[in-house]
Amino acid sequence: MEVLTSVDRGKIAELRRRDHFFWLDLRDPSAQDLEMLGEMLGLHPLALEDTREWNQRPKLDRYENHVLLVFYSARTCTLEEQRDFAPLEVHIYVSGSFIVTARHEPCSELDSLHDELMPAKTDIEEYLVYRILDGLTDAFYPVIDAIEDRVDQIESEVLERPRQRHLAVIYRLKQEVHDLLRRLTPQRDLFQTAGADVIASLPGLSHGSHEYLRDVADHLAQVVGELTRQNEDLLALTSTYFNANANRLNRTASRLSVAGTFFIAWTLVTGFFGQNFGWLVGHINGEGHFLVYGIGGLVVPSIALGAYFWRRREDWL
C-alpha cells in the first residue's frame, strides 16, 4: 500500500507499471493536477468536471473502470467562519488499481490514515476503501457529541434565564444540523441501496471475507438517526425558549400585580382619611389618632396582604 499526497508523475507511473494499489490524497488540487491525473489514470472527463466545479450533491457515478463517489464528512469550524460545524466534501475516485481523494479543506481523519495505512500489508483493497469511507463517516461522531453538549448548555441557560441571543443561537444551530442532514440522508440512501455493490463490482478490486462496505451504510444510518434526534431536540428547545420566556414575563407581571395591590390598599386608606369632611377634620386629630388610624391603617393591611402573598409565592412568584 502506497500513500501519496501530491501528483508525482514518475511515482504514479511506476506504481501503475507494477500494478501496485495506491492512495493519492490531494488537498486543493489545481486544474493542472486534475488534468494530469485524468491523463495518467484514465479518469472520465465528466468526473473531472464535477471535481473542478465542486459543491456537488452526494452521488456515485460509475464509469468504465472506476467510480466517482462524492462523499460528505463533517468538521468543526474556526471562530472566523461564524458557525460551529460544517459539512466536508470529499471526491473519491476508486478503481481496482488506486484510490484518489480530493478535498479543499483540512480533514484530520484522512491525515491520520496516512500513517496508519502506509505500512499496511493487507492485500484486501476493498478493506482499504472501507477504512477511508469509515474514517470520513466516523468524523461525524465528535461533531454529534459537540452538538449534544451545545444543546445541553443552551437548554440550561434558557431554563435559568432566557435571552434574545439564545433564540438566534438555536436557529443557527438548527440550520447547521439541517445542512448536515440534507447532505447525509441521500448519502445514507445511496449506500443502503446499490452503492456498496457498485464499488465492490469494480474489476480488479480484491475482496475480503467480510462485507466491509456494507458496514459504512450501518454507520451512516446511525449518524442520520442521531442528527435527526438532535434536530428534534432543537425544535423542542425552541418551544422551551418561548415557554421559559412566557413564564418569566408571567412572573414579572405577577410581581407588578403584587406591588400594585399594596399601593391600592395604601391609596384606599390614605384617600379615606384625606377626605375633607368636617367630622373627620374635627374629631380625628392628635398623635394617637395618627398612630392608630394613619400608621395602623397602613401597617395592618400591609401585613395581611404580605402574609397572603407569602403563602402563594411559589405559585405566583
- State which residues form the domain around 276: 247-316
Residues 154, 159: Cα–Cα separation, whole Å: 9
Do 43 and 166 share a domain, yes or no? yes
How many structural domains does the chain have?
Answer: 2
Identify the pLDDT of residue 209: 44
Do 273 and 229 share a domain, yes or no? no
Range with lowest mean pLDDT among 13-22, 47-56, 191-200, 203-212: 203-212
Residues 78, 84: Cα–Cα separation, whole Å: 7
Instruction: Give residue-wise pLDDT tens across range 98-120.
Output: 889 998 888 888 888 877 766 55
Is the Cβ–Cβ distance between 136 and 91 less than 8 Å?
A: no
Do 225 and 258 share a domain, yes or no? no
∠ CA 84-88-89, nearest 5°, is 155
Residues 138, 152: Cα–Cα separation, whole Å: 22
Do 209 and 61 share a domain, yes or no? yes
Do 289 and 140 share a domain, yes or no? no
Do 152 and 282 share a domain, yes or no? no
Do 255 and 183 share a domain, yes or no? no
Share of the chain above pLDDT 90, in %: 6
Q: Which of 7, 23, 18, 4 is nearest to 129 (CA)?
A: 23
Identify the pLDDT of residue 70: 92
More confident residue, 285 or 13: 13
203, 228, 246 - which closes a domain: 246
| Per-residue CA distances from 84 to 46, 75, 105, 170, 177 (Å) | 34, 9, 15, 12, 10
pLDDT above 60 (res 121): no
pTM: 0.74
Identify the pLDDT of residue 207: 61
Q: Which of 19, 13, 3, 61 is nearest to 36 (CA)?
A: 13
| Per-residue CA distances from 135 to 84, 126, 208 (Å) | 21, 14, 19
Instruction: Give residue-wise pLDDT tens across range 170-201.
Output: 888 888 899 899 889 988 888 877 666 777 66
246, 280, 307 - which closes a domain: 246
Confidence of residue 206 (pLDDT cuts 50, 70, 90): low
Do 52 and 180 share a domain, yes or no? yes
Hey, what's the cell of 161? 434565564
Do 98 and 229 share a domain, yes or no? yes
Identify the pLDDT of residue 168: 87
219, 246, 273 - which closes a domain: 246
Do 266 and 301 share a domain, yes or no? yes
Do 231 and 303 share a domain, yes or no? no
pLDDT above 70 (res 123): no
Confidence of residue 269 (pLDDT cuts 50, 70, 90): confident
Do 213 and 181 share a domain, yes or no? yes
Instruction: Give residue-wise pLDDT tens across range 242-262.
Output: 887 777 777 777 778 888 888
Residues 6+ apart with CB under 8 A from 313: none
